[in-house]
């Protein structure tokens, strides 16, 4: 870890705990700051606050009123999930109080080379592929991943040496709160119109994403998806060397797919069909990872080994197991229609789909084409079950069942499937009507599959 001095004696307010805020607070204290933490959750329900209070931190819980700032802070470190619209943050902006996120701290203290991945879709899978490729047959140090992938970046950053590489999944929420963040290799997987409730406009969202390359120089690399004119144009705003990836064969100056084969600058890497995780979107993720790996001098053999064995990130079109000719996949992370449509497109075999969840007030007519093309039977649960049933009927799906939850859906899926079929949990909805989060929903699916088949998930 780099020993930086800028926070010594500074009075810092950490706003919002969870993994990000808790680890940022610990790092700031280690760097000599006077740290106060604030969180809305009461102490008896807040393990993070309990831990920090026992460690001697000043902890303020409950309402995060703007008056908290009257104590006179030098800096606010904001949990990325807290909107810039909340009163205390608006007051901080009015006072011109610097506001950063944990990712800025990570970049400052990490004594290792940084690779950062952002985008609307594919971040987690791409980050994991890159980490595995950079760590494969590595002679010195390790490649670690952290950030939005669920591992606190500021915690990992303290453990690194100059021989290591830190591969960071970085969300737009994290990037907004950066000023000097400077990865050696930055990756932009794609940009759609996400999180506009937070960013207010698409222009703001795009600007947040582009902060990943804002401090790069001609000695750095910006790996960009070239399959959209907007993304190609965005690459011209970076001072870094641009390395492209493309499924549409836009250029040979990077990683690309041509006639079902993946290449890097003319060198054949492997057949796209040999990537273990299914779907065109995972071909794109693989191409982005190939570009980074080749920049870092990773061998083709190591790249191929990773892509042929990597079964997917947990809860993201994750291969669970095969039993009696049926392949079971956990895509619980598919909390919107687009994610489920993408998952369905990844399979050529007939799909028995498990879907449903939190009702956010929209309908599902746009899913009719993908239902028609891929789904032989559908099992529905949760608040949106009836809405999805209407869509399934429009799509002409012959077999539609409603059930209580994910656990009861699994044995039904077995009954409705036959050897050669895919059984896919891809809900197209958030989980909060029945489960605390998508991870719990996916874990319950896996457990139900294991109980049904008598087999264990493949690791």
SS in 3 state form for 171-213? CHHHHHCCCCCCCCEEEECCCCCCCHHHHCCHHHHHHHHHCCC
Q: How far apart are CA 408 and CA 381, in angstroms?
A: 9
Q: How far apart are CA 402 and CA 351, in angstroms?
A: 17
148 labelled ligand-binding: no
Q: How many Cβ atoms from other residues are within 10 Å of residue 262's Cβ? A: 25
245 neighbors 225 (Cβ within 8 angstroms): yes
Q: Counting every residue, how long is the chain?
A: 459
Query: What value does the mean pLDDT take over residues 93-121?
Result: 96
Confidence of residue 193 (pLDDT cuts 50, 70, 90): confident
Q: Report whether CATH 3.40.50.720 matches the domain 11-100.
A: yes
Q: How many Cβ atoms from other residues are within 10 Å of residue 363's Cβ? A: 12
125 labelled ligand-binding: yes
Q: How far apart are CA 367 and CA 370, in angstroms?
A: 6
121 labelled ligand-binding: yes
pTM, whole model, 2 decimals?
Answer: 0.87
317 labelled ligand-binding: no
Return the CATH number of 318-453, one of 1.20.1050.10, 3.40.50.800, 3.40.390.10, 3.90.190.20. Answer: 3.90.190.20
Query: What value does the mean pLDDT take over residues 306-329?
Result: 93
Q: Is 207 exposed, middle or buried (0-12, 13-18, 19+ CB in 10 A)?
A: middle
Q: How many Cβ atoms from other residues are within 10 Å of residue 228's Cβ? A: 16
State pLDDT tens for residues 243-281.
999 999 888 999 999 999 999 999 999 999 999 998 888
Paired with 15 in beta bridges are: 38, 78
453 labelled ligand-binding: no
Which CATH fold would you assign to the domain 103-309?
Answer: 3.40.1190
Q: In angstroms, how far is CA 48 from the centroid of its own chain? A: 23
| Average pLDDT, rounded, for the chain | 96
- The domains of the chain are located at 11-100, 103-309, 318-453
Per-residue model confidence (pLDDT) at position 246: 97
């Amino acid at each position: 870890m780099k020993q930086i001095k800028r926070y010594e004696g500074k009075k810092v307010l950490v706003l919002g705990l969870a993994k990000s805020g808790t680890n940022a607070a610990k790092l700031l204290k280690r760097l000599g700051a006077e740290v106060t933490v604030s969180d809305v959750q009461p102490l008896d329900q807040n393990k993070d606050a309990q831990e920090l209070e026992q460690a001697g931190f000043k902890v303020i819980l409950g309402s995060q009123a703007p008056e908290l700032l009257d104590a006179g802070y030098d800096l606010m470190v904001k949990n990325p999930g807290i909107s810039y619209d909340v009163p205390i943050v608006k007051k901080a902006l009015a006072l011109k109080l610097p506001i950063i996120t944990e990712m800025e701290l990570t970049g400052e203290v990490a004594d290792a080379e940084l690779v950062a991945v952002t985008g609307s879709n594919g971040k987690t899978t791409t980050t994991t592929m890159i980490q595995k490729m950079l760590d494969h047959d590595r002679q010195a140090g390790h490649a670690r991943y952290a950030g939005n992938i669920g591992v606190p970046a500021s915690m990992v950053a303290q453990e690194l040496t100059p021989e290591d590489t830190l591969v960071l999944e970085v969300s737009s929420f994290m990037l907004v709160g950066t000023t000097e963040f400077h990865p050696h290799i930055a990756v932009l997987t794609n940009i759609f119109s996400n999180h506009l409730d937070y960013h207010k406009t698409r222009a703001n969202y795009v600007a947040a994403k582009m902060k990943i390359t804002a401090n790069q120089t001609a000695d750095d690399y910006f790996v960009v998806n070239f399959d959209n004119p907007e993304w190609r144009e965005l690459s011209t705003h970076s001072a870094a060397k641009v390395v492209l990836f493309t499924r549409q064969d836009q250029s040979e100056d990077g990683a690309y797919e041509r006639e079902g084969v993946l290449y890097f600058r003319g060198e054949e890497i492997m057949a796209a069909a040999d990537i273990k995780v299914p779907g065109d979107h995972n071909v794109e993720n693989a191409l982005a990872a190939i570009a980074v790996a080749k920049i870092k001098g990773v061998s083709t053999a190591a790249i191929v080994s990773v892509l042929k064995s990597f079964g997917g990130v947990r809860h993201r079109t994750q291969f669970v197991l095969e039993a009696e000719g049926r392949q079971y996949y956990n895509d619980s992370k598919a909390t919107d229609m687009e994610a489920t449509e993408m998952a369905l497109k990844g399979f050529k075999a007939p799909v028995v789909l498990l879907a449903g969840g939190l009702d956010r007030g929209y309908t599902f007519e746009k899913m009719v084409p993908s239902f028609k093309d891929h789904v032989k039977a559908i099992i529905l649960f949760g608040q949106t079950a009836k809405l999805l049933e209407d869509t399934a009927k429009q799509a002409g799906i012959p077999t539609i069942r409603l059930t209580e939850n994910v656990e009861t859906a699994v044995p039904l899926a077995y009954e409705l499937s036959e050897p050669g079929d895919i059984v896919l949990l891809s809900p197209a909805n958030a989980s909060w009507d029945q489960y605390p989060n998508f991870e719990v929903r996916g874990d319950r699916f896996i457990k139900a599959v294991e109980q049904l088949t008598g087999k264990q998930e493949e690791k």
